[in-house]
Amino acid sequence: MSEAVQPTPAFTPRVFSGIQPSGGLTLGNYLGAIKRFVDMQGSGVETIYCVVDMHAITVWQDPAALVRQTRELTAGYLAAGLDPTRSILFNQSQVAEHAQLGWIFNCVARLGWMNRMTQFKDKAGKNAEKASLGLYAYPALMAADILLYHATHVPVGEDQKQHVELTRDIAAKFNHDFGTEFFPMTEPVIEGAATRVMSLRDGSKKMSKSDPSDASRINMTDDADAIAKKIRKAKTDPEPLPSEAEGLAERPEARNLVNIYAALSEQTVEQVMAEVGGRPFSEFKPLLADLAVDKLAPISTEMARYMQDPAEIDRILKDGAGRARAIAAPILQKTYEIVGMVGA
């Protein structure tokens, strides 16, 4: 069992997390999420991983692109080492209980809570009046994704911490309002050197698959040339790397590249600094590019192989949806009973 996954009283430890098929996978998704999902697989805890297509459509998705992105994300999970016999892997829309519990949580969450969500503010931008209602309600659906499985631990990147905290608020209010201890207080699991990989063009902005600038990110499907070029062009300052990790504190772009190097090589930042501290970027960037190509090329080759057999991907998702529903349906049924909804 990973050290981060300790049982919470009365609930069997269970891991849930998801990624949106809102574009191609980035290095941020790999290091902040997928790689850690795979690592948790061997921890003796049930692991449930989702392609959250209902979250993706909170912003416009071309239908044909959504189909391809859903399969490509699934291929990315599989290529990175997610084993559909050891984990449950499925797409959210195929387990209707997510939407059903999401509605209940829309009625539990308070407008004041939703108004504090920074992801909505970032994504809606200046023109919030034109944003979809779904984008605003997104965190309540995310709470449903997690609590539908009574998940106790959610591995995510730093940017999702606020949404997991909201999930706890929703669980606590539901439990309090109905006088029950039905939902667990889920813990976010945010660990490692790359919990917030930044844009290669702007050290103050998160690397995102939906960023309009392709140069801002490394895609899992980029070839060696594209990776090397993007790292060579990554924004930095003119100074060489500092000799100690503390020297990175005020240098976001340098810190980002060092963090990426640490996560890819599975070292601490201190170990990386012992290796490359004091070197100019003209030496460090090629080292980073080689490492990134080394780690990502086998995954992207494997992704391409899976993509040649979409029927097999669809079969894996369907099988996962059936297994997910077997856990979700009784939890939703019990929720309905607690709330007072009459049914069989």
- Where along the sequence are the contacts to ligand ATP (CB under 6 A)? 19-20, 22, 26, 28-29, 32-33, 156-157, 159-160, 194-197, 206-210
Distance CA 243, CA 158 (A): 26
Does 209 qualify as catalytic in the annotation? yes
User: In angstroms, what is the minimal distance from the CB of 332 to ligand ATP?
Assistant: 24
Does 123 qualify as catalytic in the annotation? yes
Name the nearest CA neighbour of 170 among 119, 220, 79, 108. 108
Among residues 123, 229, 235, 295, the one annotated as catalytic is 123
**CA distance to 126, 127, 193, per residue, from 111 (Å):** 19, 19, 34
Does 206 qualify as catalytic in the annotation? yes
Bridge partners (DSSP) of residue 47 are 15, 87
Distance CA 58, CA 99 (A): 13
For ligand ATP, the closer of residues 29 and 74 by Cβ is 29
User: In angstroms, what is the minimal distance from the CB of 18 to ligand ATP?
Assistant: 7
For ligand ATP, the closer of residues 79 and 197 by Cβ is 197
User: In angstroms, what is the minimal distance from the CB of 293 to ligand ATP?
Assistant: 19
Among residues 35, 130, 209, 295, the one annotated as catalytic is 209
For ligand ATP, the closer of residues 167 and 335 by Cβ is 167
User: In angstroms, what is the minimal distance from the CB of 336 to ligand ATP?
Assistant: 29
For ligand ATP, the closer of residues 33 and 316 by Cβ is 33
Contacts of 334 (CB under 8 A, 6+ apart): 182
Kindly list the catalytic residues. Answer: 123, 206, 209
